[in-house]
Structure 1
C-alpha cells in the first residue's frame, strides 16, 4: 500500500477518535453538571422527596369517651375496627393489586374501582379508605397476602358501639360522617374528612367533650408502602367519659313496656330534675349509622307514620286532656273560685247556650267536690271552673306550672307546646275567643298542646311542693383516669307559688285518683305503696260515622291518646312520671299500667 494512503487512514481514524472523545467528554460534562445540580442546587429538595417516599405520617385516632348510666353501667363504648386503606402511589400496578384484593374481600373489582373514584385523595401518599370494619377472617386473608398487595394497609380504629342496641337511643343519639359544611365550623379544626361525629342526642350536644384529640406517628415504609419501623409517636388524648342520670334498669323497663306502641315515657327525680328514664317509641338502632345505613333502612324510618327518629318525649306535642285539670284546679283554688267545700252537681252533661257539653260518664257523678271531681275526672266540674276562669287566667297558671314553654332540656331542641290565650287566637286566626271554648280548654282539649317532658316537670313540681327544676341528664364528666371535670347540679327554672293549703288539697285529690273507690286510676293502684296520679284521654280527630269501613291502620289513627302522670310515694316522692301512649284509647287502660310497673321497678317492688 502506498504511504500516502496509510497517512490518510491514520488521519481519518484520528479525526473520528477525537470526535468520539469529544462526545464522551461532553456526556461526562453533562452528567457532572447534573450531579452538581442534584447535590448542590436541588440536594435539599431531593432529600425531602426521599424522606417523603420512605417516611410517612399516620393518624392515631383518639378513643371517644364512653357513656355510662348513674350506677356506672356502660351504655355506649368503643370496639376495634379493622379498616382497609390503599396508598395509590405505592399500589402499583393498581389494577393488579385490586384484582388480587377483590376475591379476598368477596367483592367485584368494579365495585372497588367505584369506591376509589368516589374518594377525593388528600395527597399522593394519603391512605384512602377502601373498606371499613372488614372482620377478622378478612383481616387474616389480607395479612397472609400482604406481599402481593403493595400499598394496601390495615389500620385499627375505634368504632362506636351501642351495647344494648336501641336502649336510650333518643337520649344518647347517634354518629355520622362529618360533612364539608361541619368541617368549616368552629370547634371541628381537629377533624378530617371521613371522621365520625355526633349528629343527635348526647353524642352531638357534647361532641367536643367526647371526641378527644387525635395523635400521630412517624413511620418508615419500604418500597411497597409497608411499615418497617416507627420513628416517633405523639399519643392521642382520649375523650372524656359522660355519666348520665339515667337508670339503666328503669330505662330498659320503660322501653319494654312501650314496645310495639308509639309513645313516650319520662321519669324524673322530683327534688332535682334528674332524668331517670326517657323513652320514645318506636326507636332505632344507632349502630346502623356507624356500620353503614342502607338507603332502604333510611327510607323506612323517614316514611314511618310513627316517626322513630323523633324523640317524642321532648318533640311530641299532645293535647294534655284531663291531665290539664291539675292546672284548672290550681287556677280555681288560687283565684278563689272554689275551695275544699265547693260542690257542683254533675248530671252527665253541662248546658252552655244551645249546646250540651257531655261528661265522660253519661249518667253523671252527682254532687262532687274538688277531690271527687279530680279522682273521678268529672268533666262538668271543670267545665264550670273553665267558664268562671276564662282562657287567659287558665293560661297564666299553665305557664306558672311549666306548660307551653321549653323546660330547659340540655341536649336537643324541644318543642314549646301551646297554651292558647284570647290574643293568640286573634293573631293566629283573626277571630275573637268564644266563651264556649273555655269549657274545652279547661279539660285539656281544643288548642292545648304539651310535651311529655313538660307534663313530667309539672308533676315533679307538684310532688316537691311547687318548685320547677330544669331537667338534666348529664350527672358528671370525667377523664379517662377518673378525674371529675364537670358535675351536674339541680337548677331551678321557676316556682308555682301556690298556697300551702291549696297545694295540700291538690295533692290529696291526686292521691284519691289512684287510691279512692271510683278513682280513674284505681286499677293501677299498688297496695304496698300509695302514690298519686292523674289519667287523661286525648281526642285525636273526630271518628267518622262509617267507622266500620275504615282500614285497621286508619281506625287505629282515629283512636284517642292515653296519658297518665304520677309521683311516688305520695307522702315522700322519689320519682315523677309522665306516660303517653299514642292511640292507646284511655289513660287508665293503657298509660297508668305503664307508670305502675315503672314505679314498682324503681322502688324495688317488681317481681322481675
Structure 2
C-alpha cells in the first residue's frame, strides 16, 4: 500500500545534520563546564566555602586579660583592677569627613602647643559636626548616655587626633542597663561597641603616682618593636613608669570568644571560649608607709613647693621610697582625658605633677656635694684629713672673692670640722688646688660616686645630669659659635645680645679655676638628680659599692607566691682608702649631732646612740629663683640601714626644709611614725 503524499518527510540534508552536530557539541561543552564547575565547588572547594560561610556568621571577640597587681614590699596593694562597662566608637565606622576633621584639628593643636608659652594664642576651636547623618547618630547615642551630640563630637575629635587607630571611648563606667539597651538595638547605633573592660584601680590614691605609670592600647608604631613581637592589635600595654618597665609580666594574655551571629550581626550564642590568662603580680621594694610619709612631708614641710625625696637601702640598692611633689591621682588616666586636665598635669604653674622630679629633674646640689670634693682631695693627697687651715670667711682667687654663707668665719678647721660647720672656704681651697692637677680629678670622682650619669634604675625617663668640665665648656662654646654664624650674630657680641637674637648658649670662655671652685661646693653648672645624690651617699655608706637602684623585687603568681626574684645587676666597685672614708663619715656625723653641726637642731632629741645620723645640709643658689633646700643622710642599722635624700625647690636653707623632711622619713622608718617637724637654726649652706 502506497503512503499518502502528506505523510512523506523530506530527508535530512547534510547541511542540517552538520548544524545539529555543532549545536549539540556546544551544548555538551556547556553542560560539561557547568558540571565540572559544580564538582569543583562542591568537592574540591567545599571545605573552604563552608569555612567562609561559617566565618560569615561567626565573630571572634577579644576577652581582655586582667593586668597583674603591683604591691609594695609588704604586700600592700598599690595598683589593682576593677571591671567597668565602656561605650566606644569604632573609628572605621565614622565618616571620612569626621576623621579628616580630627587629623586637621590635631595638627593645628599640635602646632599651637609647640609654640613658646605666651605666644600660643587662643586655643584651636573644634569645628561643628560635618555630617547631618552623623549628627543624628550622635544625638541618638547622647540621649542614651545623658550627654550631648556636641560633647560626643568633641570627645571623638580629641581622641582621634591623639590616637587615630584606636576605638574612641565615649563614656566609661556606664550602668549595665545601657549595655543591654545598646546591645539589643545595634542597628540604631552603628559603630558603637559596649564592652566590659578592666580598668586600673589605685587604692592608695596619689601615693607613688609618678612611679606607677599608665596603660593604653598598643599603637601601630609599638607593634613594630621587637619587645611587642607577640602582641596583637588592640592589646592594652604599659605606656610609661613601672607599667611600661614590667609590662611583659603585668600584661597577661587575652582570651577569645567565638560568637555566632545572624544576618544582621546580632549575637545568637557562644561557640567556643578561651579564657584569658591574668598577668603576674609585681612586688616592689617600696614601703608604702615610708612613701606616704615622704609625700606628706614634702607637701606639708615643703610648703607646697615642688620637691623630691628618695630613700635607698645601702646594702642592695633597693628603693624604699621615691616621692615627687606635687602628685596627682593616676585614676584620671583610666577615663578619657580632656585637654584641660592634661594641661594641668604638665603645667609648670601647677608644679607639673605628672613629672617625676626624683629622676627627671637635675639641680646644683650645693654643700651635699662636699663629700665628693673631700674624697677627691684625700685620695689624691691634696690635703690630709687632719691638716688645719684658717677659715677667715673669704677665699680669694685672683680678683674674685668667694665667701662663706652668711659671711661666717670659722677659724682653724680640719676636714671633720669643715664638714660639721659646712665651711665653704675650706672646700673652695680644695677646688682651686684640684683644678691644678691633671685629669680633672674632681669631675672624675663625681662620676665615680654616681653624679652626672644615669643610675640605670628600672624606670623610663631618667635624666643623665651634668658634671661640668673643660670638654663640656669647649663643646658649648663651639655650639655658640655655630649658632652665631647661622644667625649672623657677631662672634664678639655680648652673650645677652646673642641670647636676644636666638643664641646665648655660652659666653664662649674657656674653663677656669673659678669653675672648679664653684663645683667644689656643688654650685656652678652642676646638674644632679636626687637619685644620683642618694647613690653617691650610698656608695660612701657601704664602703665603695656603687649600686644600681631598683624598684622591682619579685614576680609573684596570682596567689602572691614568688616565682621569680628580680636580681639587680651592675654593681661597680669604687676603690678608696677606708681611712679617708672614715674621716668624711666623722664629719657627716658631727654635722648632724656635733655642737656646731648644721643640722644638729633638727635632730635634737633623736636617739643617736641607737641610730646615729650622718647627714649634710645643702642650700643651692638658683638665680633668679630663691635658694633650693637639700639634705642627705645615712643611718646605719644591722637590720634596716637607710640613705635618705630630700630637696625642695625654693625651700631656703637645708636645715629649714629638707632636713626636717628627712627626719620625718627616718622617724617613720625606725619608729613607725613621722614625728613632729623640727626645724634647724640656719648656720651655713
Task: Show the counterpart of 2:330.
Answer: 286
Change in CA separation of 1:466 and 1:45 when aligned onto 2, cut-off 3 Å = closer
Change in CA separation of 1:227 and 1:128 when aligned onto 2, cut-off 3 Å = farther
Change in CA separation of 1:48 and 1:399 when aligned onto 2, cut-off 3 Å = closer
User: Is residue 649 of structure 2 the alignment partner of residue 582 of structure 1?
Assistant: yes
Task: Show the counterpart of 2:180.
Answer: 143
Structure 1: runs of 5+ lacking an equivalent: 1-32, 121-126, 544-557
Task: Show the counterpart of 1:245.
Answer: 285
- Map 1:167-566 onto structure 2 (within 5 A): 167-189=207-229, 191=231, 194-222=234-262, 225-259=265-299, 260-305=304-349, 306-390=351-435, 392-429=440-477, 431-482=509-560, 484-525=562-603, 526-528=605-607, 529-541=611-623, 543=624, 558-566=625-633
Task: Show the counterpart of 2:198.
Answer: 158
Task: Show the counterpart of 2:498.
Answer: none
Change in CA separation of 1:44 and 1:95 when aligned onto 2, cut-off 3 Å = farther
CA deviations on 1:383-415 (whole Å, 9 max, x unpaired) are: 112222227121122122121211121221322
| Residue 135 of structure 1: how far off its partner (Å) | 2.4
Task: Show the counterpart of 2:78.
Answer: 75
| Residue 459 of structure 1: how far off its partner (Å) | 0.9
Task: Show the counterpart of 2:60.
Answer: 57
CA deviations on 1:126-156 (whole Å, 9 max, x unpaired) are: x9766442422xx224536764555776421
Question: Which segment is superposed worse, 171-180 or 462-471?
Answer: 171-180
Question: Which segment is superposed worse, 571-580 or 288-297?
Answer: 571-580
| Residue 363 of structure 1: how far off its partner (Å) | 4.1
Q: Secondary structure at the match of 2:348?
A: coil
Task: Give yes or no for contact 1:83–1:129 (8 Å, CA) kept in 2.
Answer: no
Question: Which segment is superposed worse, 345-354 or 475-484?
Answer: 475-484
Change in CA separation of 1:607 and 1:86 when aligned onto 2, cut-off 3 Å = closer
Structure 2: runs of 5+ lacking an equivalent: 1-33, 94-132, 161-165, 478-507, 676-685
CA distance in 2, matches of 1:97, 1:268: 56
Change in CA separation of 1:227 and 1:360 when aligned onto 2, cut-off 3 Å = same
Task: Indicate which of 624, 627, 635 corresponds to 1:568.
Answer: 635
CA deviations on 1:12-59 (whole Å, 9 max, x unpaired) are: xxxxxxxxxxxxxxxxxxxxx99x979959976775565345432111
Change in CA separation of 1:394 and 1:107 when aligned onto 2, cut-off 3 Å = same
CA distance in 1, matches of 2:421, 2:456: 33
Task: Give yes or no for contact 1:176–1:199 (8 Å, CA) kept in 2.
Answer: yes
CA distance in 1, matches of 2:248, 2:638: 42
CA distance in 2, matches of 1:583, 1:57: 57
Change in CA separation of 1:299 and 1:129 when aligned onto 2, cut-off 3 Å = closer
Change in CA separation of 1:109 and 1:476 when aligned onto 2, cut-off 3 Å = same
Change in CA separation of 1:106 and 1:367 when aligned onto 2, cut-off 3 Å = same
Change in CA separation of 1:192 and 1:243 when aligned onto 2, cut-off 3 Å = same
Task: Give yes or no for contact 2:259–2:272 (8 Å, CA) kept in 1.
Answer: yes
| Residue 577 of structure 1: how far off its partner (Å) | 1.2
After superposition, the CA RMSD in angstroms is: 3.4
| Residue 157 of structure 1: how far off its partner (Å) | 1.3
Task: Show the counterpart of 1:21.
Answer: none
Task: Give yes or no for contact 1:463–1:573 (8 Å, CA) kept in 2.
Answer: no
| Residue 569 of structure 1: how far off its partner (Å) | 3.6
Q: Secondary structure at the match of 2:622?
A: coil
Question: Which segment is superposed worse, 496-505 or 246-255?
Answer: 496-505
| Residue 270 of structure 1: how far off its partner (Å) | 0.5
Change in CA separation of 1:365 and 1:572 when aligned onto 2, cut-off 3 Å = farther
Give the count of matched residue pairs. 553
CA distance in 1, matches of 2:385, 2:156: 77
CA distance in 2, matches of 1:347, 1:105: 75
CA distance in 2, matches of 1:527, 1:411: 34
CA deviations on 1:540-599 (whole Å, 9 max, x unpaired) are: 01x5xxxxxxxxxxxxxx201111100114798711011111111111111000000000
Change in CA separation of 1:132 and 1:461 when aligned onto 2, cut-off 3 Å = same
Q: How high is the TM-score relative to the length of structure 1?
A: 0.82
Change in CA separation of 1:453 and 1:66 when aligned onto 2, cut-off 3 Å = same
Q: Secondary structure at the match of 1:350?
A: strand
